[in-house]
Structure 1
């Protein structure tokens, strides 16, 4: 039995990697708890019961400690001199402490079961404490495991050494299917001390996984020549990773892609086909944002709100859908990668809005500085002023060659500036046409006035001729009507002055001719 206890302790320590002294202390606590229940007649409180480990025999010894006194008042902690001399001989004296061995064989089944439960609990707590101490500093580390079983959508991963980890459903990559016994690579995300369930939580959807995979595949990242600044993912669909180089001669993006894409392809294979965009990092937010929206080509980036980290990205009409991505995925990932709120605006829509606003400003008489024009800087505006170009109209009338010479820019850039200026002038002219009454409306109004004048003339002629007979009235009325038609026709053929008043000279002449 002695050898069995010693061998069991050794086997447990070797299997679980536990400290031998810790296991022995746990066993002593368990046996003491069982002995306190068994030997209540010896010590009601159990404070005097002691359990020691005999290293030579590999066994536990249970005893009770009592003080030798002349007159016993507390039988649980005191012993008479006569009883002490019978147990230990005549050498004992009053006041000595005497340890009396207790028969371990008297400990029944219930006591043994109690000791077992306590020992198992102590060992389990020691194992969990050891696991916590070992893995708490390994968060974010890539480890290999094997799919052991499935529990309500969660995966239980066997890490070896009787250690299990849980892969929750929310940490799994969309579209990945695993079979029992299949090898799996995961990254550690959390380690807990809780007594229930698995202590280690792992993930397949964390951005840390893609970082660790790149570290394994790219030697430049492992030796810190290339640094991963940030990474974001939508597991199963697309990931973006920003890298920079500590050496000018090393291209960070090329190092991660590898020869003919060999390095990144192996990572894509591990992630079951997830698309990866590798982006060069920049400390300038506008440049970084333009790179982050890859594969879309960005025309311009404007910082709109520094405090709230907001920016507007302008792209061409043909790049708009590419910049936004499927269901907004590309701009969503870019926003998380850069850490700024990105708003995508079409270049054509923005140009129209700016042109209309500036056109209204010009039409209302407000002075619009040339610097408000897209592509014109304050220095360029000063250069144009030296050549007498101080407003949008003069700029729009300038030729491409002259403008290219004045600003020292390419013909394409000069053409873009002129196009913006001419668009604004065209918008101004359009607003001017909207404010001018339509010619047809003027003619229609004038004809109505003539009709009003002609109606009383015809009525007056009819009333005068009623006394001469019916036929005469009809004939004269026809003549009056003809006269009124002639007057109206003459008025419609005449030139109408849009600025004349309704009671102006033209209307006066019409009344005189009608009379």
Structure 2
């Protein structure tokens, strides 16, 4: 029997390419199953095979349970704690008491049972092997052959009985594949599922675009050129930002290739998607200007607080700057990470004038100064009272015509104005009344609602936008209670 066991292990291990240990475990499970069935499932069995000799031993075993646990099925599989300690004083609940019994012959066990268990174990091992192998390839582009198209999803045969899927949402617009076509895709995710490994690929993600350039442009693989970011309007247009690590190298020219051969190869793979190669710059404004190509930006205004930029272009270039259905401005915004607003130079000037008037009025009223002095502050880039109050005095002394007395007086007036605004805001909040929907919220008391309203949380929607820690800072309550109250406030979001 021992030789027969070793022979089966050797044959199946070689045929399936599965570790011998997994085959041994499968045979042990098959023998245990056959032993249980031969006793009418009245006992639980465990089989242990010697990995070197092939000899095996069978044990009847009882799982240790608490004395008061009710046993509904297979009562002979369990032993109560009070009886188990007589066999082993150190035994614990959940462990097993075992006793060696006669083993059934390997050649006489239920052949079908053994085969099913072994094949199941082998399939599980093969699936895990596939998951391990392809998990290392997440982030790569691989090629497969179209096996079938299922409701728009493309199933690829990667070879060795391994399938992958490209969901319909991850295909390029207007792409149509038929059985037998060879298709390249970017491996996004590999999951182990009961029915087998699930390899999900994409042709629509920006990583696919980046990896294609790495394949077509050797300088990227050699770290002479870096791809800094990418943005895609799938199937229509894309932008890629590049920089050279060698100042003698032209990164755009290298990516375009001789006669456009390199970028054309990427375009062909992506079903004709047009690609703009953009020079990356460490200066955000310059990077945005580069990203807006082919439109030429004539002036730019940066708002660091809002992380946005206003871009001005010539009147006849506005439509080009925006692009079809906003495509150019949208891709440039995604590429740079900035919120971009494009307008004509005329509109930019008008907007700037309006903002200057607002700032002039603010400074003249809050600081009680004349228009000429307010214009100086605006011209020097001051936009808020906080800047006037807290910008270092040394910087303001550099302004032509400003001395220490003027600077100190402006700072004092700005601080007084900010204090007045803060007091007015506090008074307004103190007088705030909670909305009806906040008062009606389950678990909300009048005192709690008034406290929230005094902090600017007036409606149920205001409460829904709070975090648990923020609510606890306002009202003394447990984290659990705060979480429940916020969830109740958010209930309309999920209806």
Q: Tell me if both proteins adopt one fold, taking TM over 0.5 as the criterion.
A: yes
> 1:14 Cα shift?
4.4
1:465-476 equivalences under 5 Å are: none
Specify every segment of 5 or more residues in structure 2 that has no aligned partner in the other structure, as ranges. Answer: 62-75, 77-98, 365-369, 382-394, 402-495
SS in 2 for 1:299: strand
SS in 2 for 1:164: strand
Question: Does residue 209 of the first structure (1) align with residue 204 of the second (2)?
Answer: no
> 1:294 Cα shift?
1.4
Residues 14-39 of structure 1 deviation map (CA, whole Å, 9 limit, x = unaligned): 45432122222222222222222213
Q: Give the conservation status (yes or no) of the 8 Å contact 2:128–2:197.
A: no
SS in 2 for 1:115: helix
Tell me what 1:313 maps to: 311
Q: Give the conservation status (yes or no) of the 8 Å contact 1:166–1:198.
A: no
Tell me what 1:154 maps to: 153
Q: TM-score, normalised by structure 2?
A: 0.61
Change (3 A) 1:157 1:357: closer
2:102 & 2:343 partners in 1: Cα distance?
Answer: 90
Change (3 A) 1:13 1:208: farther
SS in 1 for 2:180: coil
Q: Give the conservation status (yes or no) of the 8 Å contact 1:207–1:232.
A: yes
SS in 2 for 1:138: coil
SS in 2 for 1:193: strand
2:242 & 2:128 partners in 1: Cα distance?
Answer: 38
Change (3 A) 1:234 1:11: farther
SS in 2 for 1:192: strand
Specify every segment of 5 or more residues in structure 1 that has no aligned partner in the other structure, as ranges. Answer: 67-73, 75-96, 386-515
Residues 237-267 of structure 1 deviation map (CA, whole Å, 9 limit, x = unaligned): 1111111111110111111011111111111
Change (3 A) 1:15 1:371: farther
Tell me what 1:327 maps to: 325
Choose from 46, 49, 66 the match for 1:52. 49
Tell me what 2:338 maps to: 340
Higher Rg: 1
1:179 & 1:5 partners in 2: Cα distance?
Answer: 47
> 1:369 Cα shift?
4.0
Q: TM-score, normalised by structure 1?
A: 0.59
Change (3 A) 1:8 1:288: farther
Tell me what 1:119 maps to: 118
Tell me what 1:28 maps to: 28
RMSD, matched Cα? 3.8
SS in 1 for 2:29: helix
Tell me what 1:258 maps to: 257
1:27 & 1:201 partners in 2: Cα distance?
Answer: 34
Q: Give the conservation status (yes or no) of the 8 Å contact 1:148–1:180.
A: yes
1:330 & 1:266 partners in 2: Cα distance?
Answer: 22
> 1:123 Cα shift?
2.0
2:156 & 2:346 partners in 1: Cα distance?
Answer: 53
SS in 2 for 1:179: coil
2:20 & 2:274 partners in 1: Cα distance?
Answer: 51
What is the aligned residue count?
Answer: 343
Change (3 A) 1:6 1:170: farther
1:37-76 equivalences under 5 Å are: 37-40=37-40, 44-47=42-45, 50-52=47-49, 63=58
Change (3 A) 1:353 1:165: closer
1:3 & 1:322 partners in 2: Cα distance?
Answer: 79
> 1:164 Cα shift?
0.7
> 1:311 Cα shift?
1.4
1:140-289 equivalences under 5 Å are: 140-196=139-195, 198-289=197-288
> 1:357 Cα shift?
7.7
Q: Give the conservation status (yes or no) of the 8 Å contact 2:235–2:271.
A: yes
1:320 & 1:239 partners in 2: Cα distance?
Answer: 20
> 1:170 Cα shift?
0.8
> 1:117 Cα shift?
3.3
Q: Give the conservation status (yes or no) of the 8 Å contact 1:65–1:100.
A: no
Residues 178-223 of structure 1 deviation map (CA, whole Å, 9 limit, x = unaligned): 1111111111000112223542111111111111111111111010
